[in-house]
A and B are shown apart, each in its own frame.
Chain A
Amino acid sequence: MYDKLWLIPFFPLLGCIINGLLGKRFIKNEKVIGAIGTGAVFLSFLVSCKYFIQLLGDSVKSHENIVASWISVGNLQVDWGFLLDPLSALMLMVVCGVGSLIHLYSIGYMHGEEGFYRYFSYLNLFVFSMLMLVLGNNALVMFVGWEGVGLCSYLLIGYYIEKQSAGDAAKKAFVMNRVGDFGFLLGLFIIFWTLGSKHGVWTINFVEISENAHLMSGDMMLGAGVTTVATLCFFLGATGKSAQLPLYTWLPDAMEGPTPVSALIHAATMVTAGVYMIGRMNVLFAMSPTTMFVVAMVGALTAIFAATIGFAQNDIKRVLAYSTVSQLGFMFIAMGVGAFTAGIFHLMTHAFFKACLFLGSGSVIHAMHHALHHAHLDDDAQDMRNMGGLRKKMPVTWATFGISCLAISGLPFFSGFFSKDEILWWAFASTRGSMLVWGIAVIAAFMTAFYMFRCLYMTFYGEQRTNPKAKDHIHESPWLITLPLVVLAFLATVGGLIGIPHVLGNLLGHIPNKLEHFLAPVFEHSQKLHQIEAHGSAATEFGLMGFSVVVALAGIVLATIMYIRNPELPGRFTAKFSQLHRAVFNKWYVDEAYDALFVNSTKNLGIFCWKGFDVKVVDGIVNGVAKLVGALAATLRHTQTGLFQNYALTMVLGTVVMLAIFILN
């Protein structure tokens, strides 16, 4: 029944190989390359749909498909195996669905690029890796995808090979992710070793880990529970992949890649891998309240911290990047307070509206770039200060961007409203929640509404600040670009309806929370076991809901006042608080601090090891001994005079001595 799961990652891999090997020399035609790339992902989408529907009607909610043995050494048995359960099924739909749209969009966006085939090959490889990550039935196959998406991220951030900044950003992304991967591996070792050596269950299979996790409840390590240490290690992995404090700085830089890449990898799918991973291992995480608290706090702090930086950025993609970091923070809040469903829910809605926002920004950048190029100007096509008033020129882009802004701000009945509200409610009312987390989250929500509308206004409203020479060359993008925008905007609007909270559903007439029901087989067990639940009266819930709507509206109103009504206000504000503004504008100097703390010190250590220890100490000793021997030899050399008489004398003396010894004996 579920034995063709492997087809899902197979198609993109095939697409990657075909375009990668044949694209440049043989296929050449952009349309064919694009069709192969997009078609591959779309095929995966179709297969995913089939299995999704099949799973809906199936009473058993967890199915494995073992393809082959991978590593088999003693008690370590790892398979190339896949797991389909509601969680991975939902992720498949998001990854393949949004992935298909972004591939389609890319055909238009990347038109005329020199490395068109290369781009599609990488993008397919990314989807393959992401599907491995999602479908893996054990931690190691997940890790293949985990590092694979990192590789593709590296390749695609550095896509514009000749740009120094792109190369730097790519490297930074990969290395920071590796710091996280270090944690992932350690977590894996701890679980494998503990379950195996203490309880005789040698496994890294997710289902088996979940079933046996309770065995580890009493095990200790480093003065804490084993599960706490292991999940903290895993969480370190998540902070790398999902750009959370302290490993978030690579994501804004990753905007060096083509915009559809930012939409697919750095907004909709890859960066949510950390959230997905916690969802996959929710049984382990639920066992450790300490880790859960850390997850929630890191999420909350990241949410608010990234939002502050989003205030002062002028590059449209950077605003969206910090917004992504911030929204991912919300997802981690959800995971941390035990609202697993809400976290995955927000992951999904975020994929819709953030992909739409990124693609929208891409549409704008595309148009700007085109116009500026036409007018032979080298103004920055991504700087919102060069935009403004684009609403009339690009109506479809504007409308879809606007809808997504409403969704991310959490205006009622848009998708973001349901998912964000669910998170806030759990943060407030969950047994693992706290007022602190909730408070921070609410402030972050307010800030989100503000800076997203700032972005919307600066781009599409007000007077057009584009150089007059280029002004008239700005046009709406072709259908290949706008069609995905419309579809995503539609999803961003209605996507939330699958997760209507009970209080609201009851009010509107017994509408069930379909998502919660669907994901229950994955999360319910650990939530029940550890009494993780949100409790509170319906009145409280409604009150909070109303409050968060007011908060969102306040953010929007503030943005409207500052950027529509009194456009001179922001300038006055930054003049008054110039130092604060500079700090925010420079991203709180975190990059500089990291450079000083880690990068430079590592380099200095490397220099020291090399020039200090290797050359001076080790080789110094070796060469010193060599010199000593040389000197000794130089002294002894004097005996080798080359005079026959000297040698003869020595021989005679030697013989005499030997004879003497012989006789005396």
Chain B
Amino acid sequence: MNDHLLSLMTFFPLVGMLIILFLPREADRLIKTVTLIVTIIVFIISLPLAFDDVFINSSAMHYTEFANWISIGQYFQMNYNVGVDGISLWLVLLTTFIMPIAILSTWHAIDKNTKGFMALALLLETGMLGAFISLDLFLFYIFWELMLVPMYFMIGIWGGKNRVYAAVKFFIFTAVGSLLMLVAIIYVYYFSVEAGVPFENGFSVAHFAQLDIPAHLQTWLFAAFALSFAIKVPMFPVHTWLPDAHTEAPTAGSVILAAILLKMGTYGYVRFAIPLFPVATMQFTPFLAFLAVVGIIYGALVAMMQDDVKKLVAYSSVSHLGFVMLGVFAMNLQGLSGGMLQMINHGISTGALFLIVGFIYERRHTRLIVDFGGLSKVMPVFAVIFMIVTFSSIGLPGTNGFVGEFLILVGAFESELRIFAVFATTGVILAAVYMLWMFQRVMMGKVTNPKNEKLKDMSAREVAIMMPLLIFIFWIGVYPNTFLDKMNPALENMIKQVKDKQHIAMMVEDMDQTVTQATVND
């Protein structure tokens, strides 16, 4: 079974989608239950990955599958080439883990055209899993685009008042980025064919990474990839689609968007942009680190002033993902593993925050901070859970957020990005400001609005949704090695390869200069 575990996991949601398409439109509860069961089965299929110790000792790809898929004569070859290593492992598991939770959150929230929503959700899951396991760039691109469409409809159909504007904005931002990436992908492919890579290899990332792409070409190619990924992350200043998309999306959509889709951007850097174009990475590092730090501070400042809880959480994502980017571009083990861990952390904590916002939205049909106040008194269980998630987002030691941020900052401090690390560290202050201010206005004080007096505390279903997230908040906070041990070998290997290439490039440049000088001297 291990031979096809990844395919089974990735395409099982499509089977579920087919089943759902044959269910009657009115069978609302049945459709939700089937979807939930399908996502749970997918999670169970993926579980062996979590317990496989092979990742602790090996940096290679595992569970690989390979098949020729599309070939057009001698010109174009695309393969079904998938696998998992320590870098994608936890993101795959995060996806399969978050999906049942997201589906469970729709129980009362989605009531119109459930069938369509669930079908799209399952299609989306296939897209996300496929993107994380693709080892062929073209295959990756197909999955990447596949994710775009369901999310567009989720926002556009099931969203709030401004859903059309938000959905179009989301689509245009992402589409612009991905088109540039497509051009770059095709360019790299033809470069590889010309460089003599057998065309049967298709768009294999591993082979692309072996190419010696000239520095000036790398610059352009990296820029195309980087822009596409930066939009997805989202990095400052191409982040403005995110607050709109989040605010308008239904809760489940926001959870998936925040927890997984955003990780596509950061993952894209780690898996593709950096290993394929190491020399360009070197050139762009200060610039991107700068944008990352601006994002940390800027996102926090804007989050602070929001009057809509959901928008606040959305901007906080900009800030958190700034941390991830800083860690990634530190290009050392601490920074990268911190960045990878922080991707998981953000998925858990921000996912939890969006769920929490969803809970109160379902009760009050508003997300404005001023409409709340004093909820602690009315909803004590909710208060405790909200508090824990809040402090996890702030990065309190003992929770997941701290370990990630700490590793990122240590890593950045050890690298050339020291000064950026100092500025990024101010983010820990600002995070406390915007989260605690929001928490105070929503949860503390007297109940001033009579509509809040009789709010029901969390139901068993809602507690059940939150419980797994809470467990991981503390697990990662207290014993992150479970996760770090399995990602470190792959990251170490990747860093080594990138650094080696950068090193060679620098030596070549030095030699060139010497030669030029020697010629001048002659």
Which A residues are closer than 8 A to B by beta carbons?
A: 24, 68-74, 76, 140, 143-144, 146-148, 151, 154, 158, 161-164, 166-168, 170-171, 174-175, 178-179, 181-182, 185-186, 189-190, 192-193, 196-197, 602-603, 605-607, 609-610, 613-614, 617-619, 622, 626
Contact = CB atoms under 8 A, between A and B. Distances in A.
Nearest to B433: A175
Interface stretch (B27-35, B283-291, B297-305): B297-305
A186 B306 CA distance: 29
A617 B492 CA distance: 40
A69 B406 contact: no
Closest 7 interchain pairs by CB? A74-B333, A606-B305, A144-B397, A606-B301, A189-B413, A167-B444, A610-B302
B164 interface: no
B407 A73 contact: yes
Contacts of A622: 169, 172-173, 240
A609 B301 contact: yes
Nearest to A150: B396
A143 B406 CA distance: 11
A147 B374 CA distance: 25
Interface stretch (B57-65, B132-140, B424-432): B424-432
A196 B444 contact: no
Q: Interface residues of B: mostly helix, strand, loop or mixed?
A: helix
B403 interface: yes
Given A193-B414, A622-B240, A71 B432 contact: no
B251 interface: no
Contact of B237 (A168, A178, A618): A618
Contacts of A168: 440
B488 interface: yes
A71 B428 contact: no
B391 A151 contact: yes
A76 B428 contact: no
Given A161-B445, A197-B414, A614 B302 contact: yes
15 contacts: A71-B481, A73-B334, A73-B338, A73-B407, A73-B488, A143-B397, A161-B443, A162-B377, A175-B432, A178-B428, A181-B428, A189-B410, A192-B413, A606-B304, A607-B305
B161 interface: no
Contact of B240 (A178, A186, A614): A614
A182 B403 contact: no
Interface in B422-459: 422, 425-426, 428-429, 432-433, 436-437, 440, 443-446
B284 to A, nearest CB: 21
Nearest to A614: B240
A487 B301 CA distance: 49
A179 B427 CA distance: 10
Listed residue (A174, A192, A626) with the most chain B CB atoms within 10 angstroms of its CB:
A174
Nearest to B480: A71
B484 A73 contact: yes
B432 A186 contact: no
Contacts of A161: 374, 376-377, 443-445
B333 A626 contact: no
Q: Interface residues of A: mostly helix, strand, loop or mixed?
A: helix
A626 B172 contact: yes
A626 B188 CA distance: 31
A495 B337 CA distance: 50
Contacts of B306: 610
Nearest to A143: B397
Listed residue (B301, B332, B443) with the most chain A CB atoms within 10 angstroms of its CB:
B301
Contacts of A170: 436, 440
A511 to B, nearest CB: 43
Contact of A609 (B298, B406, B428): B298
B484 A72 contact: yes
A175 B429 contact: yes
Contact of A603 (B304, B403, B418): B304
A189 B429 contact: no
Contacts of A189: 409-410, 413, 421
A4 B9 CA distance: 46
B27 to A, nearest CB: 38
B469 to A, nearest CB: 18
Given A609-B301, A618-B237, 7 more contacts: A167-B440, A171-B440, A174-B436, A197-B414, A603-B304, A610-B306, A622-B240
B410 A192 contact: yes
B432 A174 contact: yes
Contacts of A148: 396-398
A355 B508 CA distance: 69
A162 B414 contact: no
Listed residue (A68, A147, A190) with the most chain B CB atoms within 10 angstroms of its CB:
A147
B433 A182 contact: no
Contacts of B302: 606, 609-610, 614
B445 A171 contact: no
A190 B422 CA distance: 10
A193 B479 contact: no
Given A147-B396, A605-B301, A619 B240 contact: yes
Contacts of A619: 240
Contacts of A24: 380
B10 to A, nearest CB: 30
Contact of B374 (A162, A196, A603, A614): A162
Given A175-B432, A182-B426, A182-B428, A76 B407 contact: yes
Contacts of B413: 189-190, 192-193
Listed residue (A147, A609, A617) with the most chain B CB atoms within 10 angstroms of its CB:
A609
Contact of B337 (A73, A162, A163, A167): A73
Nearest to A155: B387
Contacts of B172: 622, 626
Contacts of B240: 614, 618-619, 622
